[in-house]
Amino acid sequence: MLTAIVTGLTVVLFTFTATIKLAGMRPSLEVRDHLGIAPDAWRTIGLLELAGAAGVLLGLAVWPPIGVLAAAGLVLVGLGAVTAHRRVGDAATPIVTALAAATLALASLVLLAGSS
């Protein structure tokens, strides 16, 4: 049950962040510009988040090893966000938020690895 809850939260979070990037929503574009990330790279990050969320869901529903790999990718995406926010000298809030997303993906990774 814990695996389903944590993995479900990971899927919802990263699907949301992917959707706002891919839809080009204004707050997302403002973050992209603030971080100095090229539009093509921003869309690629969104696609990676969406693929990771789908992989984590597949890991929960069908085959845990694919979920473990997908969750590892989401951990890396989250750590990349932490690095990007630190690079531009952001305050703690966006850094902690990105770190929380990476931690949630890491929790999914550990739980899915334990169920395979």
Q: What is the pLDDT of residue 1?
A: 93
14, 18, 21, 25: CA torsion to nearest 10: -80
Q: Torsion angle of alpha carbons 11, 12, 15, 16, nearest 10°?
A: -160
Tokens of 26: 């204004």
- What's the one-letter identity of residue 110? V
Sign of CA dihedral 48, 52, 54, 58: positive
Separation in Å, CA 101 to CA 7, 19, 43, 63, 96: 12, 15, 18, 23, 9
pLDDT digits (tens, 9 = 90+) for 29-79: 999 999 999 999 999 999 999 999 999 999 999 999 999 999 999 999 999
Token pair of 55 as six digits: 């992989």
Confidence check: pLDDT of 116 > 80: no
pLDDT tens digit string along 77-112? 999 999 999 999 999 999 999 999 999 999 999 999
pLDDT of residue 109: 97
Instruction: State the pLDDT at residue 88.
Output: 97
The pLDDT score that the predictor gives to residue 2 is 95
Give the model's pLDDT for residue 62: 95
Q: What pLDDT sits at residue 115?
A: 86
